[in-house]
Amino acid sequence: MKEITSAQNTTIKETKKLLKNKYRQQSGCYMIEGEHLVEEAIKHGQRLDKLFMTKDFMVNNEVNEWLTQADEVYEVSEAAIKAISSLPTPQGIVAVLKQTSQVLELPLQAPVLLLDNVQDPGNVGTMIRTADAAGYAGVVLGKGCADFYSNKVQRALQGSHFHLPVVQADLNTLIPELRSQGVEVYATALDKQAKSYRELTPTQPFAIVMGNEGQGVSADVIKASTQTIYIPMPGQAESLNVAVAAGILMFAYPI
């Protein structure tokens, strides 16, 4: 175990760059922080490239088993951990992992969630986490979605990407492929052809498409889908948060 006391240390400076998408893409690495996320990573066989912990964190937590799961382990000062943390109050533990290439297994054995240009990191992370909880086969991030490896997405999904595949793909290519395999694709939209989600009894497996927070699902994706659906709202609100709407739909149909 190496010790780092300065926030100006070269390793700290290089790690801090991972807070930006440009450097995550260049390095092929990303950061997670907090005891829960690191524990989930290790529990599901993820090798840690680097592990940073403060002395206080190590004194107050059982970390001995984690030390063998990281290629490099550092005891760092509060100033150093704060320099690489994206949180106002760092939790005393940060890890660096290599990005992994995941594959959505076809033919599908369970429903999938497709995201079309969903830009808010919290929404993307929350929907991945909800898909995990609902037993979905995976989540596909289409063009324009928030960077999956950003710290905000990682905090929102709370390690669910260690449980199910999260892949990036062109929905205009993927949806026809799914439909050719008999998968019904339901895009959320308010148009004349849209049906209430309560009127549907989907055959397994199927796909649900959620769209951009302001613009909804794109016209091309809607055209490629089987059917548009909506959630009836008897109240006065104009719309639902996209992550809330996705949760309603994913738990509406038993798997």
Domain 112-250 has CATH 3.30.420.40: no
Residue 238: predicted pLDDT: 85
Task: Provide the pLDDT confidence category of residue 223 given band limits of 50, 70 and 90.
Answer: very high
All CATH 3.40.1280.10 domain ranges in the chain, comma separated: 112-250
The number of angstroms, rounded, from the C-alpha of 74 to the middle of its chain's C-alpha atoms is: 27
> Which residue spans of the chain are classified as CATH 3.30.1330.30?
2-98
pLDDT of residue 24: 97
> Model-level pTM?
0.93
**pLDDT for position 101:** 87
Please give the pLDDT value at position 127. 98
pLDDT of 171 strictly over 90: yes
pLDDT average, residue stretch 233-255: 93
Confidence (pLDDT) at 71: 97
Confidence (pLDDT) at 219: 96
pLDDT at position 197 is 97
Across 181-202, b (16+ Cβ under 10 Å) vs e yields eebbbbbbbeeeebeebeebeb
CATH of 2-98, one of 1.25.60.10, 3.30.360.10, 3.30.1330.30, 3.40.50.970: 3.30.1330.30
Q: Taking 90 as the threshold, does the pLDDT of residue 145 lie above it? A: yes
Of residues 254, 45, 11, the one with CA closest to residue 162 = 45
Q: How confident is the model at residue 111 (pLDDT cuts 50, 70, 90)?
A: very high
Rounded to whole angstroms, how far apart are CA atoms 124 and 194? Answer: 24
| Residue-wise DSSP of 12-48 | HHHHHGGGSHHHHHHHTEEEEESHHHHHHHHHTTPPE
Reference 209, options 153, 131, 146; nearest CA is 131
